[in-house]
Structures are given as structure tokens and as C-alpha cells.
Structure 1
Amino acid sequence: MYLLLRASNDDLAANRLQDEIIGTYLFRVLRDEWGEDFDSFMSKKVIVIPGDVSLENLGLKDEDLKNEMLKEIEVLVNFAASTKFDERFDISMGVNTTGALNVLNFAKSCHEINVLLHISTAYVSGEIADGEAVKEKPFEMTQSLKKNSKLDIHVEMNLLEKKLDELRAKNASEITIKYAMKDYGLERANLYGWPNTYVFTKAMGEMLLVHYKDNVPLIIIRPTMVTSTYKDPFPGWIEGIRTVDSVICGYGQGKLACFLGHPKTILDMVLNVVNEVFCHFFQDVYDDNFNKIQKVIGLGKMYKPYVFFKAVFDDTNTENLRRETKRHLNKEAVGLGFDPYSIDWTDYMMNTHIPGLTKYALMK
């Protein structure tokens, strides 16, 4: 496996591989299995490469290595993303939009490419009407979430560059540019109906992939909230504090006494699963007074599109995949376990996810 990591040279990429991936507790099962041979085992399986998806040819500097990759790669998976809701527009655009196109162009040059798998987010849908089903259909170029408006991605890119040039011409400080870019991203996202820069730039990335894919087989996966591992390689692993965990941790640490949300909102976790465990966890909060609400104003604004989300994601494609997997694979392989109805969600949240969150994300 060729693993592209954002780094400027081989040493920094190797350090990231060790510190952020194989050196983490997640790999303890393999380490226990291979013992002293673990490092040599991994070096035979994984070739780490410094690069950057926001750059042409993914920022690859070694021509021989690039040509080797182009000859050998059969499956290309793009999970590079800037996931901050309010990230700088230029950074988010570079990774989530331009980056997706750069990966596609690289895939087109791969001699044996069988599929390009792109990880997006279910919330590219934006805010949907109450009870409406969100279908898994691709975006079209110029599509906007606001009626009577058209989105031109290339115009957006040009406007972004113009905005940056204007700021630099005024000798704006880096901190000024940073916050100007954050505000500008939210402004452009809201203009076309998306609630934040993250989902706006991910939606534009999808548009470019679908429009320019030509003969490259393309799969787009749109997960919702990512929580901790259910079973494999062991229960409860999570890297950092994600989405809903900010609220869980805030409550657990006594920093949040309450958090507003629509009582009928379905909080989707692990591929669009209907989940009411969140209400179970916070059942003692609802009777608390709301005098401390000012402390959560920032989180409230950020999560408003999601805790008041009233639509339902259609997961027909995932269900079809699950059924086909069960039909074709042997009984042992069926243990892939992505049937949401087989999970006791109260037990998972209380005895797997929250303990794992405490152990792996908070106790570092």
C-alpha cells in the first residue's frame, strides 16, 4: 500500500507514520501478534510517501516512485480532508475541492485503475425540510442549494484568489488573513445554502469528481458522524474528539449543563444509523436550568444545522451492499458487522464509546 502523508520530505512523512498511525494504541493487536518483527512486517506492507493532495500530481517529487505508483495502483482511496466547520476558505478549498480533482487526475493516469473511492460527508445535503428523505444522488455542476442561483466553482476559485491578493496588497497580517478567510468561507457557503465551509467545499469536490471522472470507476461514500470502533481491532478506539464528542466531553467535564436541540432530530452515527442513545445519555440534563446557555453559544452556532436536522438519510445503497455481502461471502466473513439493527446502541454508547473516548481521547 502506498500511503500519501502531508509532509515536505521522506523523514517527516516517516515520523508522521510512526507517531500518528502505527505507533498509536490502535496497532497494539498487530504489535502483539508480530512482536519484534512488527516494524519489518509493516515496512513490507506500507510505503509512506511525502506529498499533498492540494498540489498537482499530489506533490510527488520522486519521478521514479511516481511512475512506479502509476503502473501498480489498482484502487485509489481519497480520505484527505480539512474537516473543521469554520476552516480558512483557501485551506478548505485546497484540500476538499481542488484536492479531490488532483486525486482524480492522478487516478486517470494510473494504468490499472479499477476504482477511485472518495470519502465525503452526508451533510453535503445542507439543511433539508422536515421529514424529507435525503437521497444518495450525485451533485451536478452549477448546482446550488438555493433556488434561482447557480454555483460556478471556477468563479469561486478566482474570487478566492482575488480576495487573498487584496489582503496581501494591504499588507494584512497573517492573523488578519486567517480570520478574513474564515469569514469569507462561511459567507460564500451561506450564499449558496450550505451551513459551513466544510460541507460547501466537500460538495464542490464531489461536483468536480462526477463531472470530470470520464472512464474512471467512482464510488463516493457519505458517512455521517464517526464514532469509536464497535469491535475490530478492539472496541472503543477513537482518534481525538469528533463531532458529537465535543458535547459529550463538555457535559462529562462539567463544562456544559445543557445543549439545545430539536427533540425529533435523529442523530446519525456509523453510516446513517437511527440513534436515540444521545437522549438517553443526557436525560438528566433536560431538567436542569438553562442559565448557563451563554457558555455554549459557540458550540450552538456550529452544531445548529445538525442538532436541528429534521430530514432522514436514505441508506438504500448501504443496505443493498450489506445484503449482497452477506449473500456472497462465507459465514466467517459476514462478521464485517455493518448492520445497524444488530447493535445494542445503549450498550454501545455507555459501555464502549464513552469509555473509549475517555481512555483514548481524553487521557493522553
Structure 2
Amino acid sequence: MESRTIEQFQGKTILITGATGFLSKLFVEKILRIQPNVKKLYLLIRASDYNSARKRLTNEVMISELFNIIREKMGSVYFCSLVEEKVFAISGDISQEDMGIINSQLRNEMYNEIDIIINSASTFDERYDIAMNVNVVGAMNVLKFAKNCTKVKMLLHVSTAYVCSKTTEIVREKPLVMGETFNENSYLDMDVERSVIANKLKELETQNKTPKEVTTTMKELGIQRAKLHGWLYTYSFTKAMGEMILGHLKENLQLVFIRPTIITSTYKEPFPGWIEGVRTLDAFILAYGKGVLNFFYGNPDSKLDTIPGDLVVNAIFAAILAHENNQCSQHVLIYHISSSSRGPPRNSDIKHFMFHYFTKNPWINKDGKTIKVTKPILFSNISSFRRHISIHYSLLLKMLKFVNLVSFHRFDKTYENMKMKMCKAIRLSELYEPYMFFYESFDDVNTEKLRMTVKEINLDEVLNFDPRCINWEDYFMNTHIPGSVRYLF
């Protein structure tokens, strides 16, 4: 079965943005494993020059434990020579013209060689100006670059299923229309949004605000602008704008959007449980397992739409196989990679899984202390959640104050640390509210057709992205939580 996959990708040149990210690493590992005869992998890495980009490629990508399976399979010497021959670090930045690739000779070579572009660069919890530059302007710059590529078959853009607004309905696999919002009283003009950003930055500069104050203000501005137009937060808002601008300007380019939900650790490939970077769900697992928080903001009955990272990457492979040689579609092709209509876990399930895992496998901190957990509490009312946080930390502070007074230690620093933790807990709850109060389902009609296409060519085992195969309790208890402990704690 793998030979057919190898045949499809043999001799192809692929450009990948966001190359040091979680999904990009999984994609690079898989294509080198199933198709070492790929012609070239151009990995765009944010760096000041080639040497810095190459260093980041080595230190942040290729020496990762993720590649151990392929190293053992090929042997370290052959694997190193394969990487040297096939994988090329490109110094660049998608937020800049020409994606920040200064070398015109290199750009021309890329224009003439690239068959497929995968744009997986994005930024999540960021200030509005940075999110705009990466998620919107960056997407537009990747599109401009793609139009200069003479051989390019398609541009595959990794978006998010949460470009939708909060709803109780089924979210369809359909494109967003340029300028339309989820607030009937507003119209989205991206030039206006960029002007708002520029004016606010100028105002802050005039006021001589500190970098920390600028960051706080620009983060708040992003949330304000998102809510004005009917989105809940900056990430989904800017990713939606990125989709709009790509769809509006695509012309004759084959354009595919992959919209994953909450991405979790690998299900099977190249091995179960690999994860990198604290992702949406893992912030709660970390806080709970380390004994920092045992109460969270969320509805126990709402769906937690999770999807393992390797299934998302398999869907990317499948979409490329299905569409790279097709006549260009006039429409954007959209795929929800989700589990919400395929029996996903609920918040109450995750609460149960966390409690039982950390009861059986308690975390031992750096001081050798075993962290004992109690049953986590979910508050579905924000007022109750905030009140509980306030009471919780007030009691801790009183206790610490007493201990510190008895032992003649300073209390000020402890107080500030506790206050900071309280603010962080509140902000974390607000940031992840769209995921913890999820009532809708993501339609996956197109995705199901893609699964059938893969099955027809006997590649459904090699490129499995069907969440129905997952036993969620087994996955969380024996794969995801242990993986989070190993790679994130």
C-alpha cells in the first residue's frame, strides 16, 4: 500500500511554512518515512540568515525524538545524508513581501521547482498586530508567492474549524465571504482593521508605554475587534480573515483549506503520544497534574472536539493526493478534521480521565514531593468560577502569610506570585471558553468523501484520519495524558 503513496509524492518539491511547528514536523517526518524519493522539501523558517535557519532546522526539527523511528529504520548515517540532500532550510518570514526571502536567485529556483505549498504558519494567543501580520497578511504573502510558481499544483492552507462564531448549529464546510461577519450590524474591512492597529500603536508610542503595556493593550484590542464583528477571540478572527483574503484573491489557483479542531498528541504515527508545545487542552492537564488548579470553567456536557495530530497530517496528505492533479476548482475546497459528529469525549469525560490518571500516576515535582490531586470541579457560570478563584487564593494567601510571619520570611513576593496565578487562571478560562462551551457539530461531508476516495485507492490504512477508530478513554488514559507528562511537564 505504501508504494502507491510513494509513487504519488516521488519527485515532488514541497514548500512548507511554519516549519518548526507541531504539524509541519509530523508532515516532514511522514513524507521522509513513506517517500524518501521526494525531490525537495523547502522549509521556511523565521531566521535572520541561512545559517540561523539551518541551525533552527537542526536543533528544533531534525534532532527531535519524533524522527527516531525513521533513524532506526534507515540508519543514522543514511538518514543524515537524506536530510542533507532533500531538506532545505529557507530563511524567511511570511509576514514580509516575498515571504522575507531576500536571495532573488533562490526565489527564482523555488518559483520554477515547487509543486505544492503547505501554509501551516500561524500564531495563537498573540497581540492583534502580530496576529494580523502572521494570520492575515502572511496568508496573503504566501498566496502571492504561490502565484509566481510556474509548476504549483495547489496551495493547502491549514486553518481552524473555529473560524466560525459561537453557535448551536451544525457548522458547514463552506467558505467565508469577504467582508461578511457574524454581527449583522458590522462590515469587515481589513484595511480599516490595519488602520485601527496602526493608530493604536502610534498612540501607545506617543504615550511612552512600556513593552509590557503595549502587549497588554494590543491583546485587548484584538479581542475587542473580534467581538465587535461576532468572533470570540483574536485567533479565530484573524484566521477567518486569512481564509477570506485567500478565497477572494485565489484566481485560478487550486486552494484547499484544512480546518482541524483541538489538536492533540499523536494517535499512532510515528508512535503514540508525541506532542510538542502546550496546546489548548494541555494547559488544563498541566495545571491540574501539577496541583496548581483543580477547578475549571466549562460545561460538563459540552463536546470537547479533539483530533490527534497524525490524523490531521494524514488528512493533509489525502487532500494533496485527491486534488493536486485535478482541474482547478473555481471554489475553495474545505475539510473539517474533527470528531464532533463522530462521538467525541465531553468535558465531564476529560475531568474523569485526568482524575483517575493522576490518582494512579501522581506527578512528583522537582523537590521530590508527590502531588496529590482531588476531583476537578467544572463551573459553567463565569461568576461562580471567578468567585471560587478569589476565595481559593485568598485562603492560600492567608495560610502562606501565617507561615511566612512565623518563619520571618518576606510575604510580598509570594503575594504577587499568587495574584499573578489568579489572573492567569481567569485569563486561561476566557481564552479557552469557545472550546469548553462547545455545543455545535462540525459537518464533515466533504471530509467523509475524502475518506472514501482514500479507501478506493487502498490507502485508508496508510492515511487514516477517521476518529471513529479511537476509543477516547483508552487514548487519553494510555496515550495523550502520558504523552503530555513525558513531553510537556
TM-score range, shorter chain: over 0.9
C-alpha contact 1:100 1:205 (8 A) present in aligned 2: yes
Any idea what SS the aligned residue of 1:4 has? Answer: strand
Partners of 1:277 and 1:236 lie apart in 2 by: 20
- After TM superposition, what 4+ stretches of structure 1 lie above 3 angstroms from structure 2? 286-296
- Alignment-derived partner of residue 326 in structure 1: 455
Q: Does 1:66 align with 2:103?
A: no
Shift of 1:25: 0.7
- Alignment-derived partner of residue 15 in structure 1: 55
RMSD: 1.8
The one-letter code of the counterpart of 2:195 is N
C-alpha contact 2:295 2:377 (8 A) present in aligned 1: no
- Alignment-derived partner of residue 114 in structure 1: 153
- Alignment-derived partner of residue 90 in structure 1: 129
Please, which runs of 5 or more residues in structure 2 have no aligned partner? 1-40, 308-336, 356-374, 380-384, 391-421
Residue-by-residue CA offset, 1:30-71 (whole Å, 9 max, x unaligned): 222322232221011111100000000000011111000000
Partners of 1:281 and 1:307 lie apart in 2 by: 11
Residue-by-residue CA offset, 1:61-119 (whole Å, 9 max, x unaligned): 111110000001010000000111xx111100000000000000000110011100000
- Alignment-derived partner of residue 47 in structure 1: 88
Give the TM-score taking structure 1 as reference length.
0.93
Matches within 5 A, 1:200-279: 200-270=237-307, 271-273=337-339, 274-276=343-345, 278-279=347-348
Any idea what SS the aligned residue of 2:262 has? Answer: coil
Any idea what SS the aligned residue of 1:222 has? Answer: strand
Structure showing greater Rg: 2
C-alpha contact 1:228 1:238 (8 A) present in aligned 2: yes
The one-letter code of the counterpart of 2:304 is L
Residue-by-residue CA offset, 1:159-181 (whole Å, 9 max, x unaligned): 21122122223333322222221
Please, which runs of 5 or more residues in structure 1 have no aligned partner? none
Shift of 1:287: 6.8
- Alignment-derived partner of residue 350 in structure 1: 477
The one-letter code of the counterpart of 2:435 is Y
Give the TM-score taking structure 2 as reference length.
0.70
Q: How high is the sequence identity, in percent, across the aligned residues?
A: 45
> How many residue pairs were aligned?
356
C-alpha contact 1:277 1:346 (8 A) present in aligned 2: no
C-alpha contact 1:267 1:275 (8 A) present in aligned 2: yes
Partners of 2:209 and 2:295 lie apart in 1 by: 39
- Alignment-derived partner of residue 28 in structure 1: 68
C-alpha contact 2:42 2:88 (8 A) present in aligned 1: yes
The one-letter code of the counterpart of 2:44 is L
Matches within 5 A, 1:117-266: 117-128=156-167, 130=168, 132-266=169-303
C-alpha contact 1:257 1:292 (8 A) present in aligned 2: no
Shift of 1:334: 2.7
Shift of 1:191: 0.8
Q: 1:293 aligns with which of 382, 389, 394?
A: 389
In structure 2, the CA distance between the partners of 1:288 and 1:213, relative to structure 1 (3 Å rule), is closer
